[in-house]
């Protein structure tokens, strides 16, 4: 067997191992119901509840923003984001949150909002707020 074949086999094994490990990182969307029973972080997709209160008062704290979202099962939770309120947040069609449940509230560490674009064919710009 040529050396290059041995190297090749080693590399294929390595690639397989790396891909297997990488696949462990792939997340699935959860619901708030599932989040209650999970220790670590999860991802939840949902919609902003517009008739519930949205609170952001930078005069008090520029890194504290709360709002309510409803997940696919219709469960509503108050979300706390330790960051600033994103531009055009009210218009977002869908919100993807990463974070964990803390008592009755969901504490988000990352948020991706999807806004409808009036510019039909061009890029939709979403705003990410990493905190």
Contacting positions for other proteins (CB under 8 A): 2-4, 7, 11, 14-15, 18-19, 22-23, 25-29, 41-43, 45, 53, 55-64, 66, 82-85, 87, 94, 96, 98, 107, 109-110, 112, 114, 117-128, 130-131
Decide whether 36 or 116 has the Cβ nearer to other proteins. 116
- In whole angstroms, the minimum distance from the beta carbon of 99 to other proteins comes to 9
- In whole angstroms, the minimum distance from the beta carbon of 26 to other proteins comes to 6
- In whole angstroms, the minimum distance from the beta carbon of 51 to other proteins comes to 16
Is 66 exposed, middle or buried, given 0-12, 13-18 or 19+ CB atoms closer than 10 A? middle
- In whole angstroms, the minimum distance from the beta carbon of 48 to other proteins comes to 16
- Helix (H) or strand (E) holding 43, with range, is strand 42-48
88 Cβ contact partners less than 8 Å away, ≥ 6 residues apart: 115, 127
Tell me the β-bridge partners of 8.
Answer: none
Q: Rounded to whole angstroms, how far apart are CA atoms 113 and 122? A: 17
Decide whether 47 or 84 has the Cβ nearer to other proteins. 84
The backbone torsions φ and ψ at residue 91, rounded to the nearest 5 degrees and listed phi first, read: -85, -5
Decide whether 49 or 114 has the Cβ nearer to other proteins. 114
């Amino acid at each position: 067997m040529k050396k290059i074949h041995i190297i090749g086999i080693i590399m294929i094994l390595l690639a397989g191992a790396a891909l297997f490990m990488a696949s462990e990182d792939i997340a699935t969307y959860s619901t708030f119901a599932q989040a209650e029973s999970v220790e670590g972080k999860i991802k939840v997709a949902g919609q902003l509840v517009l008739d519930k209160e949205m609170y952001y008062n930078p005069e008090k704290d520029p890194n504290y923003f709360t709002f309510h979202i409803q997940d696919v099962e219709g469960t509503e939770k108050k979300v706390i984001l330790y960051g600033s309120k994103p531009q055009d947040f009210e218009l977002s069609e869908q919100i993807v949150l990463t974070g964990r449940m803390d008592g009755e509230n969901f504490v988000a560490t990352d948020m991706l909002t999807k806004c409808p674009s009036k510019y039909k064919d061009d890029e939709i710009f979403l705003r990410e707020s990493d905190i």
